Every structure is written in structure tokens, then in C-alpha cells.
């Protein structure tokens, strides 16, 4: 009797469980993009872990088998990856609005922050206001021009510091990162935040670096979103701690400016105060300028120097152009950059081969939509594989080679209209810092090339320089570049 009852219970509950599963988890009638083999609960993790390569290379390889739009389920988290120019155009142009949401990284899900975030929020009215302020005021041509002498001064300080280190082995990214923080500090609130030497250091560099490292650490909740509230690895808690410590570093600056604000806006803080932003909003926006602005630019500069060292003939061409346009004993100014086409081609070629954000920032479908004949259900995460696109042999001749010349005759620019080349993204979420980055990065690289010749430690030859990639929040060279400066231009 009991057996019969148990059997009937089982017969009733199994279909119920299947029905619930299909209703809750299985999108019906969806023609989802092709996927590598996927199993319940683990998804395509074996296909990803089976490769010993970093994620951007594994996904580039998988796309060769599964196509330009592929579905990769990591644990239980479905992610659609777009890996060709046409797929990127569909995601970032044709379906820009539907796919413009953000998938917030689990470690950055700090309530107070995300509410006011520019980077992680959907395209809300506040986000639109912030983008407008960024375009028309904070990074407007007028503001950038007004701040030009400060940026040149900050790069001059870097050059002076490096002169004193002539003949020493240096990890160049450390000082470039500090210089970028100072440039950003002056864009944000007209102050330096990094000192070349321990006694001048206020701790901003280490806090920002720690925050980026913690944020980039693998978080099990990315694979099993249901675990997110538990913060099992304590990553969100540690991020929140660094955020509150870094906020304290500019607390008094904001307070003083609230009392003494007057005249035309001269930096980001003035613009935010003029538009009625409160302290919490200001903290979030400062952090979202220091964070994405420093790490991406620093990685790009390091790659550019590494490529030029590895390619002495290209380095010689950059030097020759600088000697002609700037003069052999003068310092580079931002106003020289438009007259330096070969340098600009080197910058583009660096960002093509080594995009600092190889998947852009993660997008999210805000509504279900059809892309290239496949369905992308609401809330699915989307990655645009800029790394694969910018090395696609269908678009680029000898795609793995550093050939700046290819950009001399090309129309390709950073503006997101040329879908083979999207280091800053495209569409409504295109990088807001692009006008600043495209001034600062060539200024720093050209100043380093013009003022110094560089050699590698231990007598290593240029062709022996390893160009291994490491993907954390940005795509970085691994190990960090160490070089020895030799002064070319005596004191100006």
C-alpha cells in the first residue's frame, strides 16, 4: 500500500518539478545562439577550463567553431559572446538600445554605489545627465584645453623623475600609473594624488590598485548568481572597505570646495557641485573616473613601449618624426600630437593588438531581442570580443604583427564608427574618457620616447622581450615591463 502511495506521489511530483524547471529556467521556443557542450549546473565550464589559455583567447578559439554569436553558460550564468565585426555592429548599433544594460560584476555590487553609478547603471535619466555633463563640460574640448598645461606639467614631472633614475632597472608602469592618477586628480579636483617618493604618497595608488585587483579576482557568484547575497569569498566586503577608505582621501577637498566654490567651473568637482550632486554621488563618480581612467591607460602605455622596444625600426621612425616636429631638444606638447601621424598610427596599432578592455565592459539585455537570427533573452549578459575582432584575419592583413603603417592610409578612428576597431567600444555606452585618453596616452608615450632611449635588463635583446598577456580587469603585459632609461635630451 505504502509503495503504491509513494509511487503515485512520485508520478505527481516529477512532472511538477519538470514543469517548474521548464517554466522558470528553460526559455521556451528560443532559438539561442550555438554553444559549446553544456551540462546542467556546470554549463560550459569544462570547455573553458579545458584550455590553459586566458579567457579572451579561449573564447576567441571557441568562436572559430561555434560562430560569431555564441552562447557560453558559465555555471548557471548565460553569456552571449559577439566575436566578429558584424556581430559587434548588431550588438552595439542595430540593437544598441535593447542591449545597453550593464551586467554588474558581483564584487562591485555595493548598493550605495550602483544606485549612482555611471559605469554600472542602466541607461537611466541620471546616467543620461552624467553622460551629457561628461561630453559638454567635464571632457569638453574647452575644459580639456584649459587643463592642457597641467597635463604637460605632470608628464614633465615624470620625465624629471626618470632622469634621476638613469641606468636603474624600473618597472615603468608604477610611475606611469602614478602620473595618470595625478592627471586624473587634476581633472577631478585640481590636485595631485601621487607623490614620487614615500613621504609624498597619500596611499591613493595602492588603494585603487587593491580595489582593481579584488574586483578582478574570480568570484564564484559570477558562475552561480544565486550565491551572490552570501559573498562567500568576502570580495564584495573587501571592495566596500577599499571604497570607503579611498573616499576619505578626498572628503576634506569636497567639503572645502562646497564652502568656497566660485567662478567658472575649472574641474569635474565644480561641474558636479553646480549641478547639485550630493557627497555620495560625487564619491561614486570620482572613483569611476580614477578606476577605469588609470588602469586602462597605464596598460596601453606599457604595451606601446613594449611594442616599440621590440620593433626598433618603428621606434626609430617615431623618434625621427619627433625630432622633426618637436625639435631634438624641446619637450613634446599636446598641440604637437595632431602633427605626429606615425606616433598616432603606433597608438592605434597598440590598441588594436592589445585592447585594454578586450571584452569592452559587460553589457546586459534589457529586453528580449533577435540578433543574427538568434534570440537573446532579457537579462542575458553580453560580451563583445574586441580582441578577436581586432585580430580577425578577414579584416586585418597579418593580424598578429605590429604594423602601424596600416593605419596611415586608413580612415579607422577611435569613434566607434569603424566596427573592426573598437578599443573604446561604440554606441551609447562608448567610453566617456576617450577624449582625455587620446590626448594623455600619446603625450606620455612620445615624451618617454623623445627623452630617453630604453634597454632591457640583463642584456636582453629587443626580440627576446616576452609579450605574454594577463587578463585581470584590463589586459596587461605579463610580467610587467622592466626597462633601463638612458637620457637622450639634457635638461630643457
Applying CB under 6 A, which residues contact ligand HEM? 118-119, 288-289, 292-293, 296-297, 300, 356-357, 360-361, 423-425, 429-433, 436-437, 441
Half-sphere exposure of 319 (CA within 13 A, CB side): 19
Q: Strand 452-455 and strand 482-487: pairing? A: antiparallel
Residue 431 assigned as binding residue: yes
- Tell me which H or E stretch contains 131: helix 125-133
In the complex, least distance from residue 186 CB atom to ligand HEM, rounded to whole angstroms: 12
Q: How far apart are CA 285 and CA 2, in angstroms?
A: 65
Please identify the residue of the shown chain whose CB is closest to the bound ligand HEM: 433
- Minimum CB distance to ligand HEM smaller for 434 or for 487: 434
In the complex, least distance from residue 287 CB atom to ligand HEM, rounded to whole angstroms: 10
- Minimum CB distance to ligand HEM smaller for 113 or for 325: 113
- Helix, strand and coil in the chain, % to nearest 5: 55, 10, 35
- Minimum CB distance to ligand HEM smaller for 231 or for 363: 363
In the complex, least distance from residue 141 CB atom to ligand HEM, rounded to whole angstroms: 15
- Minimum CB distance to ligand HEM smaller for 35 or for 147: 147
> Considering only CA atoms, which of 306, 305, 337, 307 is closest in space to residue 321?
337
Contacting residues for 289 by C-beta, under 8 A, at least 6 apart:
184, 187, 188, 268, 433
* Burial environment of residue 171 by CB neighbours within 10 A (0 to 12, 13 to 18, 19 or more): middle
In the complex, least distance from residue 244 CB atom to ligand HEM, rounded to whole angstroms: 20
The dihedral over CA atoms of 319, 322, 323, 325, expressed in degrees to the nearest 10, equals 160
In the complex, least distance from residue 430 CB atom to ligand HEM, rounded to whole angstroms: 6
- Minimum CB distance to ligand HEM smaller for 53 or for 93: 93
Residue 80 near residue 70, CB atoms below 8 Å: yes
Q: How far apart are CA 96 and CA 88, in angstroms?
A: 10
Q: How far apart are CA 163 and CA 474, in angstroms?
A: 29
* Burial environment of residue 41 by CB neighbours within 10 A (0 to 12, 13 to 18, 19 or more): exposed
In the complex, least distance from residue 259 CB atom to ligand HEM, rounded to whole angstroms: 26
- Minimum CB distance to ligand HEM smaller for 246 or for 441: 441
Binding-site residue set for heme? 431
Amino acid at each position: 500500500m505504502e509503495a503504491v502511495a509513494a509511487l503515485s506521489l512520485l508520478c505527481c511530483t516529477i512532472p511538477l518539478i519538470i514543469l517548474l524547471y521548464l517554466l522558470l529556467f528553460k526559455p521556451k521556443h528560443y532559438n539561442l545562439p550555438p554553444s559549446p557542450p553544456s551540462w546542467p549546473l556546470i554549463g560550459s565550464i569544462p570547455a573553458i577550463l579545458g584550455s590553459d589559455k586566458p579567457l579572451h583567447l579561449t573564447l576567441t578559439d571557441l568562436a572559430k567553431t561555434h560562430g560569431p554569436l555564441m552562447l557560453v553558460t558559465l555555471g548557471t550564468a548565460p553569456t552571449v559572446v559577439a566575436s566578429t565585426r558584424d556581430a559587434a555592429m548588431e550588438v552595439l548599433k542595430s540593437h544598441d538600445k535593447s542591449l545597453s544594460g550593464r551586467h554588474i560584476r558581483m564584487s562591485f555590487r555595493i548598493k550605495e554605489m550602483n544606485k549612482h553609478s555611471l559605469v554600472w547603471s542602466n541607461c537611466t535619466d541620471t546616467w543620461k545627465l552624467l553622460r551629457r555633463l561628461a561630453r559638454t563640460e567635464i571632457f569638453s574640448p574647452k575644459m580639456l584645453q584649459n587643463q592642457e598645461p597641467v597635463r604637460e606639467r605632470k608628464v614633465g614631472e615624470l620625465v624629471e623623475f626618470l632622469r634621476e633614475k638613469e641606468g636603474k632597472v624600473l618597472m615603468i608602469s608604477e610611475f606611469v600609473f602614478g602620473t595618470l592618477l595625478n592627471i586624473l586628480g587634476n581633472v577631478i579636483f585640481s590636485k595631485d594624488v601621487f607623490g614620487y617618493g614615500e613621504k609624498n604618497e597619500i596611499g591613493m595608488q595602492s588603494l585603487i590598485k587593491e580595489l582593481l585587483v579584488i574586483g578582478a579576482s574570480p568570484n564564484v557568484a559570477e558562475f552561480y548568481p544565486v550565491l551572490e547575497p552570501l559573498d562567500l569569498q568576502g570580495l564584495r566586503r573587501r571592495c566596500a572597505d577599499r571604497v570607503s577608505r579611498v573616499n576619505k582621501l578626498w572628503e576634506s577637498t569636497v567639503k572645502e570646495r562646497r564652502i568656497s566654490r566660485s567662478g567658472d567651473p575649472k574641474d569635474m568637482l565644480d561641474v558636479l557641485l553646480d549641478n547639485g550632486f550630493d557627497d555620495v554621488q560625487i564619491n561614486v563618480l570620482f572613483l569611476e573616473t580614477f578606476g577605469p581612467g588609470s588602469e586602462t591607460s597605464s596598460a596601453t602605455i606599457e604595451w606601446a613601449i613594449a611594442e616599440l622596444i621590440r620593433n626598433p625600426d618603428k621606434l626609430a621612425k617615431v623618434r625621427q618624426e619627433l625630432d622633426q616636429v618637436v625639435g631634438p631638444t624641446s619637450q613634446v606638447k599636446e598641440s604637437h600630437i595632431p602633427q605626429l601621424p606615425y606616433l598616432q598610427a603606433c597608438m592605434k596599432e597598440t590598441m588594436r593588438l592589445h585592447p585594454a578592455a578586450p571584452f569592452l565592459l559587460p553589457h546586459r539585455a534589457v529586453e528580449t531581442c533577435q540578433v543574427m537570427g538568434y534570440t537573446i533573452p532579457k537579462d542575458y549578459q553580453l560580451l563583445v570580443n574586441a580582441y578577436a575582432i581586432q585580430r580577425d584575419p578577414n579584416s586585418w592583413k597579418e593580424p598578429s604583427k605590429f604594423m602601424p603603417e596600416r593605419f596611415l592610409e586608413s580612415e579607422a578612428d577611435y569613434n566607434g564608427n569603424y566596427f573592426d576597431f573598437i578599443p573604446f567600444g561604440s554606441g551609447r555606452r562608448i567610453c566617456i574618457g576617450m577624449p582625455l585618453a587620446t590626448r594623455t596616452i600619446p603625450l606620455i608615450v612620445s615624451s618617454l620616447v623623445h627623452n630617453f632611449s630604453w634597454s632591457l635588463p640583463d642584456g636582453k635583446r629587443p626580440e627576446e622581450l616576452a609579450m605574454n598577456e594577463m587578463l585581470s580587469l584590463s589586459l596587461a603585459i605579463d610580467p610587467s615591463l622592466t626597462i633601463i632609461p638612458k637620457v637622450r635630451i639634457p635638461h630643457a
